[in-house]
Amino acid sequence: MRRLVSLAALAALAACSSTSTTNGPSTISLAILSSATAAPPSVVNGPAAAPPVVVGDPTSLEVGMYALYISHNTDCSNAVLVVDHGSTLTYRDFVQGDTLFTGTPADGSYPCIAIHMSDVIRFQSASAGGSCQVGPTYENDIYRDGETDWHDLDHNAIVGTGTDSVPANDHVWIIFSTDTTAAQAAGFSPHQTL
């Protein structure tokens, strides 16, 4: 099973605000926030019919961010760059409620958000259980060796590398769209669209 479940637990929340002055046009600011205040304290794994199995209560859950794009189109076509961290990973902690990105895009409606990020998710557990101990930082590679169905914003295939035991940083794209069918019809994988 692909590790997009990990990202579903991270669901990003877009918060926009508008300010205006009596002498000028409105300005829009965009902040993408983690969902720490709305996230469940643990992630449940297992089939719907089976009793849930609690798999963790992280004290930190970090995702390395590269860039944020937004689009007026549900398929993420003609996406506009909002923030670019270049080739340097900027880690954000979803448990601590970090602001993921800030920017000032043009006024409008953006039904698609594309996040360029690392496929290696880092976390620490608050309690021991399974193979996790309290204290160490663990890494989970969500797009591994042999996987090729994800695409970048220009629809070039991304080749996965690494394993859970030896994670490798791949530059992946996660597409948040109000119409995932449109994003998938444009060529994005069902495993990278939310």
Nearest to 68 by CA among 53, 92, 85: 85
Euclidean distance between the first and the last CA atom of the chain, given in angstroms as a whole number: 16
Question: What pLDDT score was predicted for residue 98?
Answer: 87
Question: What pLDDT score was predicted for residue 50?
Answer: 53
Give the pTM: 0.75
Question: What pLDDT score was predicted for residue 49?
Answer: 52
* pLDDT < 70 stretches in the chain: 1-56
Q: Is the dihedral of CA 86, 89, 90, 95 positive or negative?
A: positive
Nearest to 65 by CA among 30, 116, 14: 116
